[in-house]
Amino acid sequence: MISPIAVNEKVHQPLGLLPGGASVSLAESGGSMASHLFIDNNKYEARGIEIAANHLRSKKSGMITATAKLVHKGKTLHLWEIKIVDEQGKLISICKLTNIILSKKQTDK
């Protein structure tokens, strides 16, 4: 679980709602952090290569939290399902994130 974030006028889109992009950003942060728990961070790094989101409920104020669940852990790909819920546990968004695991030698180019 990643730390909750506040939903307020600082993050609202023009209609006064939580923007979908904020939910996606929270989901990618959670899924990326989770992949780093499964790799040797001295030798490898995780990078997001695809994210998809379904926004199920709008949110005007309060808190949201992301929880990542590992769907597939391969040698080079991790697939995560990230659920974003509000403080009442209501599902706001559900996201799917694919991370590629790269050798740091490959990323030095």
The ranges assigned to domains in the chain are 5-107
Looking at residue 44, its pLDDT comes to: 97
Q: What is the pLDDT of residue 106?
A: 61
Catalytic residues: 28
For all residues of the chain together, what is the average pLDDT? 94
- CATH class for the region spanning 5-107: alpha beta
pLDDT tens digits, residue range 26-76?
Answer: 999 999 999 999 999 999 999 999 999 999 999 999 999 999 999 999 999
- The count of residues in the chain is 109
Q: Give yes or no for a contact between 51 and 96, defined as CB atoms under 8 angstroms apart.
A: yes
**Which strands sit side by side in the sheet containing 44-55, from one edge to the other?**
5-7, 62-73, 77-86, 91-103, 44-55
Say if residue 107's pLDDT is above 90: no
* Three-class secondary structure of residue 4 per DSSP: coil
Q: How far apart are CA 18 and CA 92, in angstroms?
A: 10
